[in-house]
């Protein structure tokens, strides 16, 4: 916390920040967070005899996911995942028939569907983007026409079956492009992004020409902690006028860096391109044990790198922290996450069959390197970590600009009103770097005694109980430093902020709201040099 008075005064003559706008009788409803799961492996798992259990009772896997708060599924689509003898490549056998069947099951349960076009017959990622067998000898122009026609045909078939996707992803982990070598993003002698953008536009056109309603379109990269990769790639796509709606990130903390690195990427790209962001692939281990003989992707080294215990509790904590980061993206542009393959709990379904490995041109052992990152134990019993999806649903924050990320450095954070009492100057309050969950925090400090508060008035609240939380630090000579809530239909409730140089969570639980409104805020009465910092303030309705 920078206690030195620097830039006095940033906002000349501005003594209050933007006043909260009354919402009348309209009920306040936070935008629903996407709490998704990639379930592409499910059909093959069931064919192999896998069962799924909740509290010891065998149930439909998708019903278990829904029971625990999942509201979206992601389905990958491979064009022809079979060899010329009809042998499956494995890992879900995600052809169109399988995809439509899974989409029907999901939609029948009220779950939404994200369709992930791979534009290949099997796995694609930044290290491989193989052409479908049927397209191997096509020219660039023929490939472009085929991509458009295939996209349109698939979506028409899904529409005819009553399962048009609620979101469409054009390509998978496109850092290095798609449909190699024609759509590779580097190393092909120039014009790489021109060709890649042409492919993307053709796929997007296939969506636009078939959609029954406006359907969000996602472009997806790996390496969620590497901001430079995302700005390089999306700058090039933006220059070429590619029309898309949101940015998908893969983020595995043991591969892609710290949560702070992810936060920087999400904050940067959501603002730079004015797009919502979604962590469309993520996972974490619930154990370092192994269900089969194939070495796992997640082991003791990854547990250390990831920073969470390899236990169901650690898996749950990781997802809770990830949701906090997503909700910290300024201007509500963090729209959710998808957990990758929570149902793949044993080695009975291999990452590839011999036929699949032959298509990829690799030789390796069969098995499942993901079994300990599923959200079911090795016997198919749902883990307690599945509750993280429900908890994410409960984290719908009713406050605006809760982590002070919207404005950069300012004395008047947007969506917060400011009250200045005795001794408070304009720059007694400022946002500065070093936040708990993002880049910024709000800090109260002055070299003279002062009284000050910041607050939001939330209108249109439905009757019920609510929880207010804030992350705080404080020090120096403080008469009063507290979080409060009032005007909720009962007496004012307060929680003291503890003096500490470490972030401390302050909570007011079970706030009874009967008036349809509440004022929440942070109040500080300090002697000279007394300070308080606050970040990630949340008001959520209890379930």
Marked catalytic residue, from 54, 192, 276, 281: 281
Q: CA angle at residue 440 from 436 to 443, to 5 degrees?
A: 90
- Output the DSSP codes for 65-90: HHHTT--EEEEEE-S--B-TT--B--
491 is catalytic: no
User: Helix 259-272 and helix 227-239: axis angle, to 10°?
Assistant: 20
C-beta separation of 442 from 533 below 8 A: yes
Token representation of residue 465: 């109980």
Cα–Cα distances (Å) from 249 to 231, 262, 264, 317, in that order, read 12, 9, 12, 20
Distance of alpha carbon 533 from alpha carbon 431, whole angstroms: 9
C-alpha distances out from residue 521 to 119, 211, 535, Å: 51, 44, 12
DSSP, collapsed to helix, strand or coil, labels residue 105 as: helix
Length of the chain: 543
Q: Are 74 and 103 in contact (CB under 8 A)?
A: no
67 to 36, 279, 320: CA distances (angstroms):
13, 22, 18
Number of Cβ within 10 Å of residue 99's Cβ equals: 26
Q: List the beta bridge partners of residue 433.
A: 440
Q: Helix (H, G, I), strand (E, B), or coil: what is residue 70?
A: coil
173 is catalytic: yes
Separation of alpha carbons 439 and 254, rounded Å: 21
Q: How crowded is residue 31: how many other Cβ atoms within 10 Å of its Cβ? A: 12
Distance (Å, rounded) from C-alpha 480 to C-alpha 473?
13
**Which residue intervals of 27-81 are DSSP H helices?**
42-47, 61-67
Q: Which residue among 54, 173, 276, 405 is the active-site one?
A: 173
Write out the catalytic residue numbers. Answer: 173, 281
């Amino acid at each position: 916390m920078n206690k030195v008075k620097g830039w006095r005064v940033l906002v000349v003559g501005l003594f209050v920040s933007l006043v909260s706008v009354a919402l009348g009788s309209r009920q306040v409803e936070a935008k629903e967070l996407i709490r998704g799961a990639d379930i592409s492996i499910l059909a093959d798992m069931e064919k192999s005899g896998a069962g799924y259990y909740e509290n010891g009772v065998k149930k439909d896997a998708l019903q278990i996911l829904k029971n625990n708060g999942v509201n979206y599924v992601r389905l990958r689509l491979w064009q022809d995942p079979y060899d010329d003898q009809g042998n499956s490549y494995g890992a879900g056998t995600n052809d169109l028939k399988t995809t439509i069947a899974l989409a029907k099951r999901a939609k029948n349960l009220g779950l939404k569907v994200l369709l992930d076009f791979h534009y290949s017959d099997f796995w694609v990622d930044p290290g491989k983007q193989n052409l479908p067998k049927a397209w191997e000898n096509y020219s660039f122009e023929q490939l472009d026409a085929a991509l458009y026609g295939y996209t349109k045909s698939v979506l028409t078939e899904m529409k005819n079956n009553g399962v048009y996707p609620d979101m469409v992803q054009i390509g998978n982990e496109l850092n290095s492009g798609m449909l190699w070598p024609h759509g590779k993003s580097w190393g092909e002698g120039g014009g790489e992004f021109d060709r890649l953008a042409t492919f993307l536009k053709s796929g997007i056109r296939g969506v636009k020409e078939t959609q029954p309603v406006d359907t969000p379109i996602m472009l997806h990269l790996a390496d969620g902690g590497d901001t430079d990769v995302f700005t390089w790639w999306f700058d090039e796509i933006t220059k070429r006028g590619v029309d898309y709606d949101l940015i998908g990130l893969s983020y595995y903390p043991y591969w892609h860096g710290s949560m702070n690195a992810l936060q920087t990427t999400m904050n940067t790209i959501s603002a730079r391109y004015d797009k919502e962001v979604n962590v469309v692939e993520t996972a974490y281990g619930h154990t370092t044990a192994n269900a089969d003989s194939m070495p796992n992707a997640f082991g003791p080294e990854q547990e250390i790198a990831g920073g969470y215990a390899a236990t169901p509790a650690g898996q749950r904590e990781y997802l809770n922290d990830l949701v906090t980061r997503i909700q910290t993206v300024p201007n509500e542009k963090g729209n959710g996450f998808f957990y990758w393959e929570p149902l793949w709990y044993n080695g009975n379904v291999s990452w590839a069959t011999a036929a699949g490995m032959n298509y990829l041109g690799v030789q390796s052992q069969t098995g499942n390197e993901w079994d300990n990152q599923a959200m079911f134990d090795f016997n198919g019993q749902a883990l307690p970590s599945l509750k993280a999806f429900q908890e994410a649903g409960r984290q719908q924050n009713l406050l605006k600009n809760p982590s002070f990320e919207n404005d950069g450095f300012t004395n008047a954070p947007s969506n917060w009103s400011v009250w200045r009492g005795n001794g408070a100057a304009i720059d007694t309050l400022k946002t500065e770097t070093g936040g708990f969950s993002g880049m910024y925090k709000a800090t109260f400090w002055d070299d003279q005694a002062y009284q000050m508060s910041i607050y939001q008035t939330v209108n249109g609240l439905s009757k019920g109980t609510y929880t207010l939380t804030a992350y705080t630090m404080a020090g120096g000579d403080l008469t009063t430093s507290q979080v409060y809530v009032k005007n909720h239909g009962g007496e004012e409730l307060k929680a003291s902020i503890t003096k500490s140089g470490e972030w401390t969570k302050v909570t007011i639980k079970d706030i009874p709201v009967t008036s349809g409104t509440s004022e929440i805020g942070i109040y500080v009465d300090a002697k000279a040099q007394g300070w308080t910092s606050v970040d990630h303030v949340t008001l959520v309705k209890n379930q």
